[in-house]
Amino acid sequence: MRGSNRFAVQILAKTLKQLKASHIPIAVSSMDVSRSVDIDVGIPLAGWAQDVDLEKYPGGLTYGSRAPLKAALRSGTANDPVLFLQLSPPVAAAEVVQEGAAEAGWLKGVIPVVMGGSFWGCYDIGTTQPCAEYNVAHNVTASQVFWGVPAASWAQPLRVVPTVPARVFVVNGTSYESLIQGAASSPAAASLLGAFKFWFTHGGQAMIGPLPWDWGPSVGTSAVYDLLAAWAAVTAVNTSAMQQQQAHQPGCVGQLAGALVWEDHAVTVLDSGLTQLCPVQGGHAEPGAGLNASSGAAHTPPVRGCVAVRLARGWATPPPGPLIGNVTACIASTLRSGAT
């Protein structure tokens, strides 16, 4: 975590503890401890985790995120790659992967997945114009470095989960009902629900606003962006485990893969923070990609920084609906099985 607010680190530490994963170390480059939870810090969960004593966190808190990240990524090999899931502005990550791309090919042991970017619409349902998505716009220079690593440098091309289709990935229906029922016997489920209720009543509801579906602590969530990126990561790296899970629960693991449309594209990060599809050979630009109309020249000049990625385009079956609830149940089942 780069330049983290104390409350964000406390939230992470408490979440890991509730999931019985507090042996995992946390590394931050720096941490702002100057603000009190009584001040509106724009983090609705700040009060939920304010009782966490970071000095006593079992996994340890390390200052200096670059070295631990580099060590973790270098531990992967071409035959046994590590999964790198980037869910925040890639500041420290950009520094590390830039070195990895320039050095002796050790990024060949890394499968990268990023939550970020905007191509066919922004955050609001129904919008068709892209925007400068937060994880990119927060530090455009770092994003240009991270997204700009050549596809051939990685074990697989960068997988990108943008605002569309993530803005409609929700936990609801029978899946959410099962979570509520399981809270009586599962401390982890109870903690997740408790955190959601706290977040909802301490600014989360106002932050998101009305949606085209019912949502709230009693019925289900708003869009769960990072959960979709996590599942994209699972599908990218865990082929054998997914096959075993599919044998146990036929159709479960393949359900999201069949519903989520992936496409191979070349993309670039502009100085404005917009992420755009690059024009293709022959002067044709993808409609709705935020690109200016081409001149129609026979050969379009290459755009600076264009890199091949695998991009989540949209949904074959439009959510929200039972599909998303069932897929979420599948994710929970896969995680419980230890497949990840």
pLDDT digits (tens, 9 = 90+) for 194-223: 999 999 999 999 988 888 888 999 998 888
> Where is average pLDDT lowest: 81-85, 106-110, 234-238, 268-272?
234-238
Which ranges constitute the DSSP H helices of 19-139? Answer: 66-74, 91-102, 134-137
**Confidence class of residue 85 from pLDDT cuts 50, 70 and 90?**
very high
pLDDT (mean) for 81-100 = 90
State the pLDDT at residue 261: 80
**Confidence class of residue 285 from pLDDT cuts 50, 70 and 90?**
very low
Torsion on CA atoms 163, 169, 170, 174, rounded to nearest 10: 180
Minimal CA–CA distance to 115: which of 66, 168, 170, 163?
Answer: 163
Please, what is the Cα angle at 2 between 265 and 269, to 5 degrees? Answer: 25
> Where is average pLDDT lowest: 24-28, 243-247, 307-311?
243-247
pLDDT (mean) for 168-172 = 81
State the pLDDT at residue 336: 46
State the pLDDT at residue 38: 52
State the pLDDT at residue 243: 44
pLDDT digits (tens, 9 = 90+) for 59-75: 999 888 888 899 999 99
Q: In the chain, pLDDT over 90 holds for what percent of residues?
A: 35
* pTM of this structure: 0.79
State the pLDDT at residue 84: 92
* Helix, strand, coil abundance in the chain, percent, nearest 5: 40, 15, 45
Which of the pair, 30 or 50, is modelled with greater confidence? Answer: 50
Position 62, amino acid: T
Q: Are strands 159-161 and 110-115 parallel, antiparallel or unpaired?
A: parallel
State the pLDDT at residue 329: 55
State yes or no: pLDDT of 107 exceeds 90. Answer: yes
